[in-house]
A and B are shown apart, each in its own frame.
Chain A
């Protein structure tokens, strides 16, 4: 049960150390690329930038790529590489998808094999999946330069180029080749048409002839490799890495799992190397690892070691429901007893799980994909046991435990500052971080970056829950329906992209006859949330780092709060738990915890 998560985390830690050191070398410019690549760097270098210029270049690049990708996706029906004749998507779904892939969220209101041509997959999806994590890495490197006290923050274009071409491309190529060896398709052929072994097993057409089983395929390996490595998560197929073509066996599952956290872990190593402060990085790494391990253990315990409670016995219960029209203001709802169904659930909850990955693979992946902002899945999160559903939700609520490529560590930095600030208040000294005083302006920026996330989660969740927009879109009754809404905005705001996918949340093709009634509302709301929650927590820390960089370094004395000790590790841990719990606990109680307490099943 525990072998799989321990192996995955252990192997990834080992790989992340050399990768992190390599990244520090090439991204910081200490190791220069050979001739031709170096001349490209010279051509795109616009010179040293301060934080405003850096953020400006970053926004400019985002606007340009948004427009190009929008045009390609909107007009995919008229572009090449479309063997299965995919039609035109609704503009709201294109808008959502582009916000999603621009913000490294990769929330999918479409279903890959249904809605996208190979051209859209390769040009929009694949391209975005490369350069959005590269933007995260670039901004992280810039922030670290600021913290280090460099006179400028580097050049955005050069950082973007280095992240894409020296880090993401080579690692993805290796992973993709391994995935093809593991059995993943990589072809431009259209759907395969299969004559089923039992003739007519897929039904018959009007003339009585047996229907074939059509199997969607495509250039899967190229997209899955970078999807996993870049904390992207936008799968080739609708059900993501549960699909056998997107995750053919237990070995590819292992590799894909390692890829989810590899670069986020390496970022912390790079952070330590660039600051020449490995002890501080180790403390941060340790705190992140504690959260990751806890979430994995929680998920595995409640999902793989407990049966699905839908099938177990429940005694008769009754609830008092407030009801203004009833004589004494309440109505009694009595629920009959339920017998246990004769199902052998020794492997835990198997609804929405694939068998070939190993028993605890689903919740293990669920924790990793949400601690980082990946958002790919190898099991349906919507069907996790009620308490196990807290694992992915909590990972995204905190969103800093390894987190997205680059941006995860930037988020953690905000918590670091808050921890330093709290510790400073407790001992009555002006808080310092890395030898620089943290003052009012920095705290305001940190708070802005910290609070945008809960605001973007709870605000829209409240709005959609109160209106029919949410209530008419859920696939499950009661608290689980609320969890679906909560999960969607949590995922959008955490730039994660996984989902309680039962939610009817996207419009689909422009001429979709059975479009969900509020598909367009979801498309637009989630799109806006993703954009705000992407750029505010990147730009505020850039400003913050720029502001620290300009300050004089204060001398290190016995009274200085050290950030490389176990004590500081505990303060950081406590801060994250406290702030995280204060922000989202009420919502958690209304969703997964209420669901766990019953009634199960709810109605019917």
Chain B
């Protein structure tokens, strides 16, 4: 009986103190003294509509804006997280290589500052890797997992393989023979033989989405064999690199291609921002019809002034808050 009484007292009091009084006090502190922070550090526009939180990364894709770190969750702030990929996971290297292809530039030498992307396309169109022809076929053979992932990445890709499948009943029959109990093959099951066949029929090309005017006057996406584009620059960057190990490339700051733990990291390193600076300055110079060098100088000064280091600079490197710098850019150069 004593025990029952003790338990009841403890239950009542701990629930009251830990779950009502304690959070209640903190809610009051937040509401009264620190309402901006306690509601999530939201940034509002002139009309009071929230346009972001200075703590939460927001996606930016336009050339005129700095871009945040990659996010494993597509910047979805109601289901946050990281990739949880270890070093041994081939997806990690593949993801980084794909990001690199379209952005990497030459370092020292006569072509300093130029993008390598066009050279990757030229190499790809010649369609020879390791002394053999058929880059796409070799890629699909070495990386059957990536080939299968391509088939699943977009319904259009799957449909493209399905169309190919109808024209190639022999490939289907062969797969069924090898997998007698599995029923009809899914597109990803046939990705390997699809890419082998595709490579033979379309040397120097890769199936990619292109936009086309559709019958009703809008644009629609279709998959077509193409000889250039970011798909080729990205997917085949790693293979190109192996055949061009001597090319002097400017290293990309790691935070540009490595995903954060929360997928919401609001910062990039100052180095990363400086790497993106040319693109941003050029775009604003174009829209404001001003001298490129002058705009570049101004943006660089804004970066330096707006950067901050952890613990006042005693640990870590200078960082830039992406949303804040982009809002400052819009304020300074955007339409009023």
Complex A-B: 17 CB contacts under 8 Å: A4-B315, A60-B7, A122-B19, A131-B14, A185-B39, A198-B59, A202-B75, A214-B76, A249-B310, A311-B93, A339-B245, A341-B241, A351-B83, A352-B83, A355-B255, A475-B85, A601-B90
The 3 closest A-B pairs by CB, nearest first: A604-B90, A242-B261, A502-B84
Are A169's CB and B22's CB within 8 A? yes
Are A601's CB and B65's CB within 8 A? no
Given A192-B42, A195-B49, 6 further pairs, Cβ under 8 A: A180-B30, A182-B37, A213-B58, A336-B142, A350-B255, A351-B92
CA distance A177 to B258 in the complex (A): 33
Q: Say if the beta carbon of B326 comes within 8 Å of chain A.
A: yes
Within 8 Å CB of B3, what residues of A?
Answer: 46, 57, 60
Q: Say if the beta carbon of B333 comes within 8 Å of chain A.
A: no
Q: Say if the beta carbon of A537 comes within 8 Å of chain B.
A: no
Are A64's CB and B19's CB within 8 A? no
Within 8 Å CB of B55, what residues of A?
Answer: 183, 244-245, 248
Stretch at the interface among B197-205, B267-275, B284-292, B294-302: B267-275
Residue on B nearest A176 in the bound complex, by CB: B26
Are A192's CB and B89's CB within 8 A? no
Within 8 Å CB of B249, what residues of A?
Answer: 342
Among A131, A169, A245, chain B packs the most CB atoms within 10 A around the CB of A245
Q: Say if the beta carbon of B27 comes within 8 Å of chain A.
A: yes
Residue on B nearest A346 in the bound complex, by CB: B254
Are A192's CB and B40's CB within 8 A? yes
CA distance A114 to B319 in the complex (A): 30
CA distance A73 to B240 in the complex (A): 54
Stretch at the interface among B94-102, B206-214, B228-236: B94-102
Q: Say if the beta carbon of A552 comes within 8 Å of chain B.
A: no
Q: Say if the beta carbon of B113 comes within 8 Å of chain A.
A: no
Within 8 Å CB of B146, what residues of A?
Answer: 604
Q: Say if the beta carbon of A217 comes within 8 Å of chain B.
A: yes
Q: Say if the beta carbon of B323 comes within 8 Å of chain A.
A: yes
Given contacts A201-B59, A213-B58, A601-B93, contact A184 B269 (CB under 8 A): no
Are B90's CB and A602's CB within 8 A? yes
CA distance A187 to B27 in the complex (A): 6
Are B311's CB and A186's CB within 8 A? no
CA distance A213 to B42 in the complex (A): 12
Q: Say if the beta carbon of A383 comes within 8 Å of chain B.
A: yes
Given contacts A357-B310, A604-B90, A604-B145, contact A342 B100 (CB under 8 A): yes
Contact partner of B80 (CB less than 8 A), chosen from A186, A239, A248, is A239
Are A197's CB and B254's CB within 8 A? no
Per-residue 0/1 for A349-390: is the Cβ within 8 Å of any B Cβ (1 yes, 0 no)?
111111111111110000000000000011110111110010
Q: Say if the beta carbon of A433 comes within 8 Å of chain B.
A: no
CA distance A153 to B49 in the complex (A): 60
Given contacts A61-B10, A186-B26, A382-B85, contact A196 B261 (CB under 8 A): no
Within 8 Å CB of B305, what residues of A?
Answer: none
Are A242's CB and B323's CB within 8 A? no
CA distance A344 to B255 in the complex (A): 9
B interface residues with partner A (beta carbon < 8 Å)? 2-3, 5-7, 9-11, 13-15, 17-19, 22-23, 25-27, 29-31, 34, 37-42, 45, 49-53, 55-56, 58-62, 65, 69, 75-94, 96-97, 100, 104, 142-143, 145-146, 238, 241-242, 245, 249-255, 257-269, 271, 310-311, 314-317, 319, 323, 326-327, 330
Stretch at the interface among A18-26, A158-166, A287-295: A158-166
Within 8 Å CB of A501, what residues of B?
Answer: 81-82, 84
Stretch at the interface among A93-101, A477-485, A522-530: A477-485
Are A595's CB and B310's CB within 8 A? no
What is the minimal beta-carbon distance from A225 to any residue of chain B, in angstroms? 8
CA distance A157 to B13 in the complex (A): 12
Within 8 Å CB of A245, what residues of B?
Answer: 40, 55-56
Are B40's CB and A343's CB within 8 A? no
Are A250's CB and B310's CB within 8 A? yes
What is the minimal beta-carbon distance from B63 to any residue of chain A, in angstroms? 11
Given contacts A382-B85, A385-B87, contact A213 B38 (CB under 8 A): no
Contact partner of B50 (CB less than 8 A), chosen from A180, A194, A250, is A194
Given contacts A244-B262, A480-B88, contact A214 B78 (CB under 8 A): yes
Residue on A nearest B242 in the bound complex, by CB: A339
Within 8 Å CB of A194, what residues of B?
Answer: 42, 50-53, 58
Q: Say if the beta carbon of A148 comes within 8 Å of chain B.
A: no
Within 8 Å CB of B314, what residues of A?
Answer: 3
Are A244's CB and B56's CB within 8 A? yes
Residue on B nearest A183 in the bound complex, by CB: B37
Q: Say if the beta carbon of A309 comes within 8 Å of chain B.
A: yes
Within 8 Å CB of A123, what residues of B?
Answer: 15, 19
Residue on A nearest B319 in the bound complex, by CB: A355
Given contacts A180-B38, A242-B262, A342-B104, contact A61 B78 (CB under 8 A): no
Within 8 Å CB of B61, what residues of A?
Answer: 198, 201
CA distance A600 to B327 in the complex (A): 41
Are B89's CB and A601's CB within 8 A? yes
Residue on A nearest B247 in the bound complex, by CB: A342
What is the minimal beta-carbon distance from A297 to any residue of chain B, in angstroms? 16
Within 8 Å CB of B93, what residues of A?
Answer: 310-311, 338, 341, 601, 604
